[in-house]
Amino acid sequence: MSWRIKRVSAGAMLVTVCAAVLAASAGGSSAGERLAYAAATQQKAVYVAVGATTRAPIGWLEFCVEYNPECKTKPEAPRDIVLTPKVWSDMVQVNDWVNDNIKPITDVEHWGVVERWNYPDDGYGDCEDYVLLKRRMLMQAGWPRQALLITVVRDKKGDGHAVLTVKTDRGEFILDNQTTEVLPWNDTGYHFVKRQSQSDPNTWVSLGEPVVAPPVVSAR
């Protein structure tokens, strides 16, 4: 998978990251990716327990004011990604590309406010901005929104952090700007707090202990 950046004007200058060409050859993934994929598919699929509806993060609510059309969605049936070697490779490449090309900066340094969720169109952002871009790139590549869930966690230091959960038929995997590895959610060492509902991104649900269960729907 390769990615192209182009600048477009829509009232203000934005950076739109578009999916270009998906590698079709079987040799597109590296040896490391193939080993990681093999390890991921050999594990028993474990899913985080989903609890009651909870309050959406203020950053998401404010994001939906600024990017209102993106949040005008209708509830849809949950869908999970079928974890093939190509899906794994694409997921790893998106995670690497965004982590390599976006420079970390706090919202206070960037915007002068404590919390703001935004696309890192200027090449800078904090954890939520990395997540938003990864989610957008995968959706532009045809992945279902219902399998790409913005997730709030407590990291290993106990600090608030945001990651992208990719829900597959082989478990839930985490795209994270704090590591180059794509890990099963239960291998991250994080405490999972809440995330978007699969059926409606504007509904957020609390998260609890792991459960071993099949995904709701297989797709793709």
Summarised one tens digit per residue, pLDDT across range 165-180 is 999 999 999 999 999 9
- Residue 42: pLDDT band (50, 70, 90) is confident
* Higher local confidence (pLDDT), 20 or 96: 96
- Mean pLDDT (whole number) for 128-145: 96
The share of the chain scoring above pLDDT 70, in percent, equals: 82
* pLDDT for position 34: 78
16: pLDDT strictly greater than 50? no
- Residue 23: pLDDT band (50, 70, 90) is very low
- Residue 1: pLDDT band (50, 70, 90) is low
The residue to which tokens 């797709």 are assigned:
219
Mean pLDDT of the chain: 85
- Residue 87: pLDDT band (50, 70, 90) is very high
- Mean pLDDT (whole number) for 13-30: 42
Phi, psi of 177 (to 5 degrees): -80, -5
164, 117 Cβ separation under 8 angstroms:
no
Domains of the chain listed by start with CATH number: 43-219 (3.10.620)
* pLDDT for position 211: 63
192: pLDDT strictly greater than 60? yes
The residue to which tokens 């990017």 are assigned:
67
- Mean pLDDT (whole number) for 123-129: 97
Predicted structure pTM score: 0.84
27: pLDDT strictly greater than 90? no
Q: How far is CA 17 from the centre of its chain?
A: 15
